[in-house]
């Protein structure tokens, strides 16, 4: 009788959280992520003992820390993937605001650990890199602005997001951290393109990037040194790039054997930025191709799911997160084989690092939340109805 007078009663979702999460999650992407983490632990066992011995630690000191940070990252990923997109957006915006303030205060309270770039806060037992946590928060915040711009009488979200992007890029370039600055700009550019940006505007932004790179080359010794090292025809065999290039060459197709690699004794960043060189030397091209396939599978699976999404915010945020994840992996591996200048960027879920592991876990958890199957018509249904 109540339904007859007041209309249909609302249908309550009584399905338990965990079964619903398991039924709707992108299982292939999650499986690939777990495999990448396992590969990271395996490579850490090979790459980190020389550094641990050099610093006076137990042989598997860094592997143990990677397992702890990785466990926290996977837990953050699973918890975030269980959240609704609305809750993810709210928490991401708050997290972005905190990371933005932390990034702004780096020149005052940050440290460079002798690497020439002030990117970290030293906590004694660990170091925190705010830019790692800023990236996923920025993607979600920018996607929210871009989606709001598409609403009738909506705010100028495109202009707001572009201004915010330029501010972050400038702050990162001043550290200097040109790699993260390029990654943030790329993530915004992908979302802006998906949101319907005119090609002429994107070409103009690309020209501005080239101009900014020219100015940075002329005024930043750090930037110029890396570009010159990339463009030179001969690689100094005593540099990190030289060691990595030689290790990849020595590995061949099947590698020199587990534990038989030598590059880990020469590379100070063998367990972080150049972990792919250790993989190539000891396990050969076979493992490298497997790693590339895993990253490609995560990105493509996510994008295929997002193509069916009707909510513009979810579509934009998910696309930005997926593309940024894939491009970071591509940059890391591209540096090792001299396709790109040195960037100081980790390989997601494989390289050692507390901030990068946990931040990547949060970012991928957001992506898994956005790509969960929801009871909705596909966007193709809307387009077909409009054609009729």
Mapped onto helix, strand or coil, the DSSP state of residue 273 is: coil
Distance CA 129, CA 383 (A): 43
Give the model confidence (pLDDT) of 129-144 as tens digits: 999 999 999 999 999 9
Exposed e or buried b per residue across 16-42, where buried means at least 16 C-beta atoms within 10 angstroms of its C-beta: eeeeebeebbbeebbebbeebbebbeb
Which of 55-59, 194-198, 342-346 bottoms out in mean pLDDT, i.e. has the lowest?
342-346
List, as own/partner pairs, every contact residues 168-176 make where C-beta atoms lie below 8 angstroms and the sequence separation is at least 24, other chains included.
168/100, 168/103, 168/134, 168/138, 171/103, 171/104, 172/103, 172/131, 173/212, 173/216, 174/107, 175/106, 175/117, 175/118, 175/119, 176/117, 176/216, 176/220, 176/222, 176/223
Name the pLDDT band for 4 (thresholds 50, 70, 90). very low
- Quote the pLDDT of residue 94: 96
* Unique residue bearing structure tokens 């928490």: 91
* The pLDDT of residue 381 is above 60: no
Domain positions in the chain: 20-372
Secondary structure of the chain: what % helix, strand, coil (to 5)? Answer: 70, 0, 30
Report DSSP letters for 76-112, one per residue.
HHHHHHTS-HHHHHHHHHHHHHHHHHHHHTHHHH-B-
Report DSSP letters for 322-340, one per residue.
HHHHHHHHHHHHHHHTTSS
Instruction: Tell how far CA 168 is from the center of its chain.
Output: 16
Task: Determine contact, residues 286/254, Cβ cutoff 8 Å.
Answer: yes
Report the mean per-residue pLDDT for the chain. Answer: 85
Distance CA 255, CA 100 (A): 43
Give the model confidence (pLDDT) of 65-103 as tens digits: 999 999 999 999 999 999 999 999 999 999 999 999 999
Distance CA 29, CA 36 (A): 11
**328 or 218, higher pLDDT:** 328
Which range in 7-16, 199-208, 328-337 is most confidently predicted, on average pLDDT? Answer: 328-337
* The pLDDT of residue 209 is above 90: no
The values of phi and psi at residue 193, to 5°, are: -65, -45
Give the model confidence (pLDDT) of 253-309 as tens digits: 888 888 778 888 777 777 888 889 889 999 999 999 999 999 999 999 999 999 999
Longest dimension (CA), the chain: 84
* The pLDDT of residue 114 is above 80: no
Q: Tell me which residue of 35, 45, 47, 70 sits closest to 272, measured CA to CA.
A: 47
- Quote the pLDDT of residue 355: 86
**171 or 239, higher pLDDT:** 171
Name the pLDDT band for 147 (thresholds 50, 70, 90). very high
Name the pLDDT band for 167 (thresholds 50, 70, 90). very high
Name the CA dihedral angle for 48, 51, 55, 58, rounded to a multiple of 10 degrees.
30
- Quote the pLDDT of residue 119: 86
Mean pLDDT of the 109-123 span? 82
- Quote the pLDDT of residue 88: 97
Using alpha carbons, list the distances in angstroms from residue 84 to 73, 165, 169, 213, 366. Answer: 19, 26, 30, 40, 9
Helix (H) or strand (E) holding 128: strand 127-128
Length of the chain: 388
Task: Determine contact, residues 129/119, Cβ cutoff 8 Å.
Answer: yes
Mean pLDDT of the 320-347 span? 88
Name the pLDDT band for 234 (thresholds 50, 70, 90). low
- Quote the pLDDT of residue 386: 52
Q: Which residues contact 207 (CB under 8 A, 6 or more apart)?
A: none
Integer-rounded Cα Rg, in Å, for the chain is 22
Mean pLDDT of the 359-386 span? 78
* The pLDDT of residue 113 is above 60: yes
Name the pLDDT band for 9 (thresholds 50, 70, 90). very low
Distance CA 149, CA 151 (A): 6
**165 or 13, higher pLDDT:** 165
Proportion of the chain above pLDDT 70, given as a percent: 90
């Amino acid at each position: 009788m109540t339904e007859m007078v007041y209309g249909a009663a609302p249908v309550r979702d009584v399905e338990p959280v965990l079964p619903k999460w398991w039924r709707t999650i992108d299982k292939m992407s999650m499986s690939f992520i777990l495999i990448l983490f396992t590969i990271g632990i395996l490579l850490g066992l090979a790459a980190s003992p020389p550094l641990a011995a050099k610093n006076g630690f137990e042989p598997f000191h860094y592997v143990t820390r990677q397992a702890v940070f990785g466990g926290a990252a996977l837990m953050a990923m699973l918890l975030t993937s269980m959240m609704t997109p609305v809750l993810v957006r709210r928490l991401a915006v708050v997290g972005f605001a905190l990371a933005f303030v932390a990034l702004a205060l780096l020149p005052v309270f940050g440290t460079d650990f002798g690497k020439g770039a002030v990117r970290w806060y030293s906590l004694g037992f660990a170091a925190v890199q705010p830019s790692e946590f800023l990236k996923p928060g920025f993607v979600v915040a920018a996607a929210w602005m871009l989606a709001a711009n598409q609403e009738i009488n909506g705010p100028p979200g495109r202009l707001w997001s572009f201004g915010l992007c330029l501010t972050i890029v400038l702050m990162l370039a001043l550290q200097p951290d040109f790699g993260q600055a390029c990654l943030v700009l790329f993530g915004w550019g992908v979302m802006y393109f998906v949101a319907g940006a005119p090609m002429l505007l994107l070409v103009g932004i690309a020209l501005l990037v080239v101009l900014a790179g020219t100015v940075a080359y002329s005024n930043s010794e750090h930037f110029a040194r890396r570009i010159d090292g990339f463009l030179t025809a001969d690689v100094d065999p005593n540099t990190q790039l030289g060691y990595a290039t030689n290790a990849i060459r020595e590995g061949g197709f099947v590698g020199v054997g587990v534990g038989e690699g030598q590059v880990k004794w020469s590379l100070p960043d063998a367990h972080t930025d150049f972990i792919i060189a250790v993989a190539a030397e000891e396990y050969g091209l076979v493992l490298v191709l497997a790693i590339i396939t895993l990253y490609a599978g995560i990105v493509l699976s996510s994008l295929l799911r997002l193509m069916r999404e009707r909510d513009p915010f979810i579509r934009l945020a998910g696309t930005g997160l997926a593309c940024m994840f894939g491009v970071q992996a591509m940059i890391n591996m591209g540096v090792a084989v001299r396709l790109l200048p040195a960037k100081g960027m980790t390989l997601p879920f494989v390289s050692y690092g507390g901030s990068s592991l946990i931040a990547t876990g949060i970012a991928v958890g957001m992506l898994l939340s956005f790509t969960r199957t929801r009871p909705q018509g596909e966007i193709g249904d809307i387009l077909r109805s409009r054609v009729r």
